């Protein structure tokens, strides 16, 4: 059972909104894999094509060689993530400057929260910072409040 953080009502697993108070239910996820220095991707890993689809149906196509940082650029601090989500309302939706990373792992593409201010989620499950989580085709990731659906080509 899931317990609503706002009203403490019990909800069935997979429920998105509390039936008592209507709050959005987000649950903590468990890492599906942990990378160690011996299981890190090799420098000769095959580049992967990934499509990020936003709620307005716009898509961003990226190539993942080893690791890409997701976040929003900031000219004052000089922060420049590999994938700048500022044009997708990143600042307004709570995306940190260096929010998360996509990385090739032993089982596929991993998503890692980089100790972001507003959290990172996969299919409404909150990630533990700095732990890798395996992504699947069509998974919905949420950075702060920015929702993105992930596709592998």
**pLDDT of amino acid 125:** 93
pLDDT-based confidence at residue 145 (cuts at 50, 70, 90)? very high
DSSP per-residue string spanning 45-89: PPPEEEEEE-TTS-EEEEEESSEEEEE--BTTTTB--SEE-GGGT
44-83 confidence digits (pLDDT tens)? 568 899 999 999 999 999 999 889 999 999 989 899 999 9
Tell me the domain boundaries of the chain.
1-26, 31-152
**pLDDT of amino acid 115:** 96
Mean pLDDT across the chain, nearest whole number? Answer: 85
Which class would CATH give 31-152? mainly beta
Q: What is the mean pLDDT of residues 114-140?
A: 95
**pLDDT of amino acid 20:** 80
9-52 confidence digits (pLDDT tens)? 887 777 777 788 777 776 555 555 443 333 344 445 688 999 99
């Amino acid at each position: 059972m899931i317990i609503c953080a706002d009203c403490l009502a019990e909800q069935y697993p997979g429920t998105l909104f509390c039936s008592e108070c209507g709050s959005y239910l987000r649950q903590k996820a468990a890492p599906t894999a942990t990378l160690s220095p011996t299981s890190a991707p090799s420098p000769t890993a095959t580049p992967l094509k990934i499509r990020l689809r936003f709620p307005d149906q716009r898509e961003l196509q990226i190539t993942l060689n080893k690791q890409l940082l997701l976040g929003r650029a900031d000219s004052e601090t000089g922060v420049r993530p590999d994938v700048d989500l500022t044009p997708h309302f990143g600042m307004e939706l709570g995306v940190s400057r260096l929010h998360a990373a996509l990385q090739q792992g032993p089982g596929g593409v991993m998503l890692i929260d980089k100790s972001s201010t507003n959290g990172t989620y996969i299919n409404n499950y909150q990630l533990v910072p700095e732990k890798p989580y395996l992504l699947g085709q069509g998974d919905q990731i949420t950075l702060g409040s920015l929702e993105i659906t992930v596709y592998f080509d």
